[in-house]
Structure 1
Amino acid sequence: MALEVNGVAVELDEEGYLMELEDWTPEVAKTFAAEDDIELSEEHWDIINFLREYYEEYQIAPAVRVLTKAVGKRLGKEKGNSKYLYSLFPFGPGKQACKYAGLPKPTGCV
């Protein structure tokens, strides 16, 4: 399975996540979002960039509960809650945001 981004095929796993972390670019995130009819806002990018930094530090994509807490600490309580995260990523902040960020599917996500 592959995703075409600016004429380049990017390999995806069977669930639609990037096979190689290095293949990620902001255009990949925009392409994933466009498939879900979502236009990425500054708020989306805050979460996407946060996830990429988190992954770089811990080598794991956080589960939703961990993500919510960590976002609250870093970006403020008003953003560190499920309601806010689901408003940005309606298909699940863990799964959808990690996919846009080019990360593997978080453990514990179905």
Structure 2
Amino acid sequence: MNVLEVNKTDYENCIADHPLHNWTTGAGRDVVPLNVTRTYYFISGKGFCFGGMKVAIHVHNPPPPPSASPIRSASPVRFSTFRSQIFVPALFAVAAVWDSFLMAL
């Protein structure tokens, strides 16, 4: 068996005549670095591709590592927290009254 990297057209049609790269090193120790974000197409030559010996691998960038959530401490209530707990509901209440007033006109 051999490992041939080909383009998409050659992959779809199992054409091994002009591979982009021959990764065959022998004894089943073929190693292919997949370090670029793209789709890789590999086939096995000598007619084995027609029997299903082919694979397409799409390599993505790794996701960013998760950020650590902030540690909450038992700190006293701040003005901004108080303001968001009072101001935002009050704003919605005023908006609802204003909307009702405009509907009554």
TM-score by length of 1: 0.22
- Larger % of strand: which? 2
Work out which structure has the larger RCO, using CA pairs closer than 8 Å and 6 or more positions apart in sequence: 1
